[in-house]
Structure 1
Amino acid sequence: MNIQNLDCLRVLRSVVVSSAVIVSSVWLSTAAAGSFVNFESGQVRPLALSVDRSRLYAVNTPDNRLEIFAVGARGLSHISSVPVGMEPVAVALNGDNEVWVVNHLSDSISVVDVSSVPPRVTQTLLVGDEPRDIVFAGPGRSRAFITTARRGQNSPTPYNPFTTVGRADVWVFDADDIAAGNKAPLTIVNMFGDTPRALAVSNDGSKVYAAVFMSGNQTTVLRESSVNGDMPAPTANIEGIAGPDTSLIVRQEGGQWLDGADRDWTSKVRVSLPDYDVFTIDANADTPVEIDRVSGVGTTLFNMAVNPVTDTLYVSNLEARNGVRFEGPGIVGGSTVRGHIAESRITVIKKTANGHTVLPVHLNNHIDYSTDLGTPEEKEAALAFPTGMAMTANGQGMYFTAFGSDVVRYVGIRKLENDRFPPNIAQQIAVPGGGPTGIVLDEPRHKAYVLTRFNNSVQVVNFLHKTAGQTLPMHTPEPPEVINGRRFLYDARYTSSRGDSACASCHIFGDTDHLSWDLGNPDDVVTLNPNEFVPGTKPRLADISFHPMKGPMTTQSLRGLKGMGPQHWRGDRTGIDGTGDPIEMVAFRQFQVAFPGLVGRESPLPAADMQAFADFALTVVYPPNPIRALDNSRTDAQQRGHDYFFTQTQDGTGNTCNECHTLSPTEGFFGTSGKSIFRGTGTPSDPTGIPMKVPHYRNLYTKVGFFSASSIIGSENPVTKDQIRGFGFRFDGASESLLSFLGSRSFVFPEGEPQKRDVVRFMAAIDSDMAPIVGQQVTLGQTNRLYDIKRVRLLDSRASVTSPREECDLIVKGPVASQARGWTRLASGDFRSDRLAEDIVTLGTLISLSNAPNSELTFTCTPPGSGVRMGIDRDEDGVFDRDELDAGSDPDDPSSIPA
């Protein structure tokens, strides 16, 4: 090349870069405003260290990437970033050169070749709904085990909301088969539990342990008709006003079902809750199968670790205290969960000749819960929400992350296994950034590597000196309201006086614990109800006020609050304050009383902090519905249910289902418009009448697993079939299924039971915040092209949908000519690359490019408005990614743009 041509090239590059800043800024103006969607996925196994300790792999959950760090004597250095699926939460190594990443929202596994330049996704495996963890075990540790819910569009098992079956699956893949192009699972192991989360492997690789995430605690609920007014004291509030008749929570203990006053209700309970928590799978069998199960481990199970010497199993968990009635001071109530909602524990499971020993160890046994508030000393030593665990090589010690305490804690195994866990601040290592979720040990260097969720960073900790050192931030697209407000959900030391409780004690990762709680407050007063009612649903004489003794109600998710109006089951967090803020914002700020009244803080949060929390909470959304078909169509049965929902009027009100449970995705209504109804007749002869906010339907499909309810009375032959869950549908969880709920009220079904089942199927597949296609992906390479191209066409067709609402943006990522590249789909159906000067290309061109060696391309449907960021402009600075790399600037840093 001569000098003249070189000068021309420099001028051309300058023009291209300048144009990129101008032209792509136009793209940015439309994409950036809503480019990030907060799903608040819980990380499970976010870090993995290579066997030779030269590489650290970390999931970048908000940015949908695998980050690769070089490990050296001086610490970590970032060397590569690989786009994977949406919301990656776990990572595991398959040999030296391959990393498998679990994509929670995409229902997929990204197989990454980390030896290639650049590292690239070679295959995408499709699995069940919401995969969470992955381990390798079995012969030669060549089998991948992955936890998922037993549902989802990729699952071969049809969703069944009508019978008692296991709701927990472990997908098993043979890595050698995958390398040969066979992407079908070896088997899917079904377990009799709800959605699973953590996995662990025995030292010889022959056994895999799988833990149910929200496994319950052998509590259930009796309907108010079963209780028949026989409520334990008190039955009136501080004003002397009698509370309504409500249902009652009972717990299984010593073969009996007892309420909070230890009264025996066994004769009324018609359900058996075996409470299976941890399952053992024979990983070496030709077809892996479940061979054992353990109960009594905990209510919410986070993670597991295996002792490298003894094979003892350790499970980090929470034990909920939902059998205790009431919040508030407990003066009139006599009992309260204030400041003692759930206990953070590590449970020790040892195999014996006759089975197992199960020893739950409370991590905060130093706290005196008999006092109203905790002391500073108690708080400083408290540990909230144990998540990641890492064992020392000699099996004598463990380091674990306390997610709600911003520390890593060391404990000697002998003390742990003998239930002697003393408070010891000297064994804590403060972790800057906050929210530690995962940890791996690098013992020869006396280091631990910790992922901190609040600042999306990897933190290097010197466990010999118990100090935190190097911090490596990972790029995040999260807006300030997400980053600044997240800690108020999880930070137990800031939000509670004892340092062991937070809103996340029940709202697990911003969602729910799938339990009922009686959080009435007899020390409170009756308040007025200003809410708007659905026409025809409020009797003229009805008392619509809010009595503080509301009875058991299931924990509601913090997801999808935006546009939903008043909050809580009754809508008792409501109102307007004259600021012009949406009612949801005002309503959420009213949860301020929960900090001193429930979590146990010394005082309410400062107003600015409460506002930051509200701003954060209103960003969290529901995932796509896993029951609805990916092309957003309905089955014939679902369509019949849909038609009934919108046309069949009901006795009493003359309303259709939709006039109460408004379904209008374009308006942001998914089963409610925020209005209320009155449940009951509102007459003196109906003492159970109470006002209720009309609930949404987006998470109905998660409540399945409770079929022989305690409400079934009047039979001399008790129904004791084993159940997965103790709580089902209705505000208190007392309806065992949607089918029974629809049959227990005055709903009109002219065509009988078949029509009722059609409505259940429709409700389970109802629209959600995101279209079903969001997150779905496929990698197109030189194998399986016929099936994979068909799936590419599906993704492309859904990206073309604009009415009644946009469904997704379609992006493409992968290597071309040994360069990491990206594209995003235009409205025309063509694709814009991450180099502005390049011509737009057709889908057919991209399909052809993927057929070259080592040039696999991954197609992903992303939330509407996110395609530019996720496809071609990672930092949203207006300069496309490849243009930045060509010009020597950083595509991860919005302050770094070409000169």
Structure 2
Amino acid sequence: MTRTVGFFDPTPSAIKVGRKHLYDTHKNSGLGQVACASCHVDGKMDKLAWDLGDPSGNMQSLTDLNLGFNFPGLSAGTANPTFQPFSPMKGPMTTQTLQDIIGKEPHHWRGDRSGIEAFAPAFMGLQGDDETLSATEMQEFENFLASIHFPPNPYRNLDNSLPTNLPLPGHYRTGRFGAAGTPLPNGNAVQGLAIYRPARRLDANAFACVTCHTLPTGAGPDYTLVGTTLQPIPPGPLGQRHLAVVSVDGSTNITMKIPQTRNVPQKSGFNATQVFNTSGFGFLHDGSVDSIERFVGEPVFTVASDQEIANLTAFMLAFSGSDLPAGSTNGTALEPPGVASKDAHAAVGKQITVISQAALTTAEQAMLNTLVAQANANRIGLIAKGRQGGIPRGYALTSTSTFQSDRTGETRTYAQLLAAAAPGSEITFTAVPKNSEIRMGIDRDVDGAYDRDELDNCGDPANPLVQSGTCPCPADVDDGTGTGTPDGGVTIDDLLYFLGLFEAGVAGADVDDGSGTGTPDGGVTIDDLLYYLARFEAGC
């Protein structure tokens, strides 16, 4: 290797700087063979349980915790059993995802870590490194973790609404109602949401599911009850939140944080009614409940049928994605407000290539119309890419059914883009996260200069420092060697070389589409010759 060349990288600096603390085995372990991502694979989980208790450790008191959010029947003094300090011998715990954990403190299944800073000792104690991360490095790590979102939910409809007739392959009756191991019926997630909320107090007729597992994350509230009103809890000195912990009878650990529920599909795969499984651990902190349908069908929950179990299962699968009812600070409503969720609209990533408008099927046209409607409502971003006039072009929807192109002052309506699609000029529409459509569609380096404008001015759309440059002379095509090598001047050699290309009808002679702008059109015609002669006459 003689030198390295840097390429454009749109990755945010928080990710570039902080990701090494998750992935770098050499930096973060004693033997150079393990990192946080060894278990938190891709910042998520390995679907295993680990027994990481420390026999030499000390009991940890319950300090600065939101115990039962002061709710009757859940709070200290009213809970059964009473809250207990954290034992260093915590038993098996399944790996938790690192998606959207910042601002959802405390951490761990038990809530025994007040913030990400409390994990610094794990680099030595768990990974065998010879030193912990510094405060600066832990902040870098936190900034990186704060960037990890939940992806689009494949169980939701294209408009991000909940499904009403969701097939549930891999989910089975538990035996509470129908025969154990037989498939569950299709689930209605809208009805599942309805019985999740206070209209049905599924938890022994005392609480609703949402009383503890708030929307839209499923985690506990960052509120405490004062009188009959839920009051927000101020963040701690390092910005840490105070999501609720509860006491759990029958658990191997009594004091437990209310867990979020946005990755139920990823935790599925184990079912005790089946011979073949894709996972060896299920739900709860130790993975001891095999399936989500088993959990919602436990006797403590007052579901009335396998259909209600199916409806709740469908809702839990479709949980992530937000767009769920807001809670209330009225303590008697049994539906506390939840913290916001970093997730994505279900349409994000959907893509369709239009060969021609006439070739679109009814389903494809409906899908496109839905994407445009969602973008018009500012729920997603929408971009279009394709070759127009023989050159790559980009578009981003910036106002109702109107796309800004990658040239300043040029817009196209949705109808115009569809009409422009043709074989060789196909257009691909892509749904992207809201507020990313400009970068992904028309201004790659986010320097305020649109991509095609930069190319027209011989700039670099992948370098925010180069918006324009010195354009090559279109008439300078050969240095007299007949190899098509420009030499910085315009001479008879250039004319002779171009005429040879034109006579042969090859691609090198395709220099204009008749517009006089130097835009190739995929063919060699008299327009190309006239354009070249004009440039030759002008000396460039």
**TM-score, with structure 2 as normaliser:** 0.70
Is the contact made by 2:205 and 2:302 (CA closer than 8 Å) also made in structure 1?
Answer: no
Matched with 1:724 is 278
Task: Report the Cα offset of residue 720 of structure 1.
Answer: 7.6
**What's the counterpart of residue 315 of structure 2?**
762
Q: Does 1:698 find its partner at 2:273?
A: no
Deviation track 1:181-240 (CA, whole Å, cap 9, x = no partner) reads: xxxxxxxxxxxxxxxxxxxxxxxxxxxxxxxxxxxxxxxxxxxxxxxxxxxxxxxxxxxx
> What secondary structure is seen at the aligned counterpart in 2 of 1:810?
strand
Question: What is the rounded CA distance, in whole Å, between the counterparts of 2:359 and 2:284 in structure 1?
Answer: 45
1:781 maps to 2:355: yes
Other-structure match for 1:478 = 11
Contact 2:48/2:95, CA 8 A, preserved across alignment: yes
Q: 2:366 matched to 1:790? A: yes
For the residues of structure 2 that align with 1:591 and 1:790, how far apart are their CA atoms? Answer: 49
Q: How does 1:566-715 map to 2 (within 5 A)?
A: 566-574=106-114, 587-636=115-164, 637-646=188-197, 647-651=199-203, 654-664=206-216, 669-673=217-221, 675-681=243-249, 688=252, 690-708=254-272
C-alpha distance in 1, partners of 2:386/2:194? 44
Cα 1:672–1:764 shift into 2, 3 Å: farther
Per the alignment, residue 394 of structure 2 pairs with 822
Of 413, 417, 422, the residue aligned with 1:846 is: 417
Shift, 1:688, TM fit: 4.4
Structure 1 residues 572, 784: CA separation in 2 closer, same or farther (over 3 Å shift)? farther
Measured against aligned partners, the alpha-carbon deviations of 1:714-757 in whole angstroms (never above 9, x if no partner) come to xxxxx7823221111111111111111123351122x3332122
- Between Structure 1 and Structure 2, the one with more strand by share is 1
Q: Look up the SS of the partner of 1:824 in the other structure.
A: strand
| Structure 1 residue 689 displacement after superposition | 5.3
Matched with 1:510 is 43
For residues 776 and 642 of structure 1, do their structure 2 counterparts lie closer, same or farther at Cα, with a shift above 3 Å needed?
same
Alignment of 1:340-489 (within 5 A): 468-489=1-22
CA–CA separation in structure 2 for the residues paired with 1:688 and 1:795? 47
Distance 1:825 1:837 in 2: 14
- 1:498 and 1:784 map into 2 onto residues whose CA distance is 59
Amino acid at match of 1:676: A
> Separation in 2 of the partners of 1:655 and 1:472?
61
Write the distance in 1 (CA, Å) between the matches of 2:278 and 2:200.
33
List aligned pairs for 1:91-130, cutoff 5 A: none
Cα deviations across residues 836-862 of structure 1 (Å, max 9, x unaligned)? 122x221000001112x3111111111
RMSD: 2.1
Q: Gapped runs of 5+ residues in structure 2? A: 165-187, 223-242, 322-342, 470-540
Q: How does 1:286-297 map to 2 (within 5 A)?
A: none
Q: 3-state SS of the aligned residue for 1:811? A: strand
1:784, distance to aligned residue in structure 2 (A): 4.1
Structure 1 gap ranges (5+): 1-467, 575-586, 709-718
Give matches, 1:538-549, under 5 Å. Answer: 538-540=75-77, 542-549=82-89
Residue matched to 2:459: 889
Of residues 64, 74, 84, the one that matches 1:537 is: 74
Distance in 2, matches of 1:818 and 1:898, equals 22
Of Structure 1 and Structure 2, the greater helix share is in 2
SS of alignment partner, residue 599 of structure 1:
coil
Contact 1:625–1:698 (8 Å) recurs in 2: no
Letter of the 1:551 counterpart = G
Q: CA deviation at 1:770?
A: 0.4
Distance, in Å, in 2 between the alignment partners of 1:888 and 1:690 is 66
Give distance in 2, aligned partners of 1:845 and 1:672. 49
Alpha-carbon offset, residue 631 of structure 1:
2.0
8 Å contact 1:537–1:653 — kept in the other structure?
A: no
The answer (yes or no) to whether the contact 1:676–1:691 under 8 Å persists in 2 is no
Work out the number of aligned pairs and report it: 395
User: Aligned pair in 2 of structure 1 residues 687, 627: CA closer, same or farther (>3 Å)?
Assistant: closer
Report whether the alignment pairs 1:744 with 2:298: yes
Is residue 382–residue 430 contact of structure 2 (8 Å, CA) maintained in 1? yes
Distance 1:657 1:741 in 2: 12
- Alignment equivalent of 1:559, drawn from 99, 106, 119: 99
C-alpha distance in structure 1 between counterparts of 2:460 and 2:20, whole Å: 29
Q: Structure 1: how far apart are the matches of 2:20 and 2:251?
A: 42
Greater gyration radius: 2
1:615 positional shift = 1.1
Q: Contact conserved, 1:565 with 1:673, CA < 8 A, in 2?
A: no
- 1:884/1:758 CA distance change after superposition, 3 Å: same
Q: Is the 8 A contact 1:537 1:677 kept in 2?
A: no
- Cross-structure match for 1:27: none
Deviations 1:106-151 (A, max 9, x none): xxxxxxxxxxxxxxxxxxxxxxxxxxxxxxxxxxxxxxxxxxxxxx
Residues 706 and 724, structure 1, Cα contact 8 Å, conserved in 2:
yes
Distance 1:692 1:785 in 2: 53
Letter in 2 for 1:788: E
Q: Is the partner of 1:569 in helix, strand or coil?
A: coil
1:720–1:809 distance in 2 versus 1, CA, 3 Å: closer
How far does residue 873 in structure 1 lie from its aligned partner after superposition?
Answer: 0.4
* Structure-2 residue corresponding to 1:836: 408
Contact 2:263 2:320 in 1 (8 A): no
Query: Alignment partner of 1:543: what SS?
Result: coil
- Name the counterpart of 1:407: none
Matched, 1:809 2:381: yes
Task: Check whether the contact 1:564–1:673 (CA below 8 A) recurs between aligned residues.
Answer: no
1:503-539 deviation per Cα after TM superposition (whole angstroms, max 9, x unaligned): 1111112111111111122221111222213423235
Distance 2:34 2:52 in 1: 15
Partners of 2:277 and 2:110 in 1: how far apart? 28
Instruction: Confirm or deny: 8 A CA contact 1:670 1:767 kept in the other structure.
Output: no
After TM superposition, the score normalised by the length of structure 1 is 0.42
**Deviations 1:274-319, CA, capped at 9 Å, x for gaps:** xxxxxxxxxxxxxxxxxxxxxxxxxxxxxxxxxxxxxxxxxxxxxx
